[in-house]
């Protein structure tokens, strides 16, 4: 029993160091940190049953391909989709790579593992008309919570930022009170702590000015730019709930999320003649491949228009 307890403590020790590594060195997003650490907890639970007790560090080094396959098979039987399975495998590979460098623990089997092939999921933007309607409704829509005028100004400013500047919701919510008044271009810290400069359209600057003038909170430069009703930092979940109410009022599909506003920004820029490299920089994508997905959406839209409009189609 003491041996099992010791093994468990040893693994916990390295998991704690791995968590610190993700945050401080890899500068992974809070979502990546949470997903990777949750995957490790599930893997440990699996190994306890699979090996008959808490795994030691030496046990991890001895795991074979069939052990990893058994874990992924279990997760698949639990209903996990291919993209999520790839995320689980990515978490394990990152952890074992960390162990190889920090604990001199080698496991060749994990390096040979390949995730399941997943059908490419294209971004799902909304039309320019619908994006404009979301922004307009955000500044007017009264809900069961009876939002005050400053909250409506906040929602409209936030939606304008997502669509007009192409920010991620986390990036928009990371802005501080001291960033206002917003300049014609601002510095945004995105994924992996990478910084980019993005231009801000006049409508977004005007929306934020109106919100700042109406907001009852905010005094210090380090205060959040966007506040909740109770004066706390506005959360991504609260923004998602607001969007859910907006799409219900406007009759939009479930795919109309805060992130869809960012997708719409990229798609509409591309349709208007924007080049991929510029859009990549504006979105903060680390690779051009991520941005190229929008060309497929644009091509599909052109084909639909052709089929609908051409007399011989």
Task: Write out the catalytic residue numbers.
Answer: 168, 191, 259, 262, 285, 294
Q: Is 267 helix (H, G, I), strand (E, B) or coil?
A: helix
Other CB atoms within 10 Å distance of the CB of residue 71: 20
Q: Please say whether the beta carbons of 51 and 59 come within 8 A.
A: yes
Q: Please say whether the beta carbons of 283 and 166 come within 8 A.
A: yes
Q: Please say whether the beta carbons of 264 and 126 come within 8 A.
A: yes
Q: Compute the distance between CA of residue 299 and CA of residue 200 in angstroms, rounded to an integer.
A: 27
The DSSP-derived string for 122-153 is ------HHHHHHHHHHHTT---TT---HHHHH
Other CB atoms within 10 Å distance of the CB of residue 274: 15
Q: Compute the distance between CA of residue 238 and CA of residue 69 in angstroms, rounded to an integer.
A: 38
Structure tokens at 164: 């007009």
Q: Compute the distance between CA of residue 108 and CA of residue 263 in angstroms, rounded to an integer.
A: 39
Q: Compute the distance between CA of residue 304 and CA of residue 300 in angstroms, rounded to an integer.
A: 6
Candidates 280, 122, 125; CA nearest to 194 is 280
Output b/e per residue, 104-133; b: 16+ Cβ within 10 A: eeebebbeeeeeeeeeeeebbbbeeebbeb
Q: CB-based contacts of 144: which residues, under 8 Å, 6+ apart?
A: none
Structure tokens at 35: 């997903």
Q: Compute the distance between CA of residue 62 and CA of residue 59 in angstroms, rounded to an integer.
A: 5
């Amino acid at each position: 029993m003491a041996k099992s307890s010791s093994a468990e403590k040893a693994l916990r020790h390295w998991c704690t160091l791995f968590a610190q590594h993700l945050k401080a060195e890899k500068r992974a997003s809070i979502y990546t940190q949470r997903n990777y650490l949750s995957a490790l907890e599930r893997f440990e639970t699996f190994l306890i049953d699979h090996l008959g007790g808490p795994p030691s560090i030496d046990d991890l080094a001895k795991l074979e391909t069939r052990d990893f396959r058994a874990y992924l098979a279990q997760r698949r039987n639990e209903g996990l989709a291919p993209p999520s399975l790839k995320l689980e495998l990515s978490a394990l590979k990152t952890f074992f790579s960390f162990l190889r460098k920090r604990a001199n623990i080698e496991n060749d089997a994990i390096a040979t593992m390949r995730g399941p092939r997943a059908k490419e999921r294209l971004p799902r933007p909304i039309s320019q008309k619908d994006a404009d309607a979301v922004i307009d409704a955000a500044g007017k829509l009264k809900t069961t919570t009876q939002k005050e005028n400053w909250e409506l100004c906040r929602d409209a400013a936030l939606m304008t930022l997502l669509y007009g500047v192409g920010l991620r919701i986390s990036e928009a919510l990371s802005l501080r009170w001291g960033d206002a008044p917003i300049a014609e271009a601002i510095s945004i810290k995105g994924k992996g702590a990478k910084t980019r400069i993005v231009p801000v359209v006049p409508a977004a600057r005007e929306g934020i000015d109106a919100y700042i003038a109406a907001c009852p909170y905010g005094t210090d430069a380090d205060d959040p730019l966007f506040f909740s009703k109770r004066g706390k930092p506005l959360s991504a979940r609260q923004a998602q709930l607001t969007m859910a109410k907006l799409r219900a009022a406007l009759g939009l599909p479930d795919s109309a999320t805060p992130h869809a506003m960012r997708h719409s920004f990229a798609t509409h820029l591309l349709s208007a003649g924007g080049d991929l490299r510029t859009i990549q920089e504006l979105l903060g994508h680390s690779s051009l491949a991520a941005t190229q997905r929008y060309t497929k959406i644009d091509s599909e839209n052109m084909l639909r228009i052709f089929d609908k409009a051409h007399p011989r189609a």
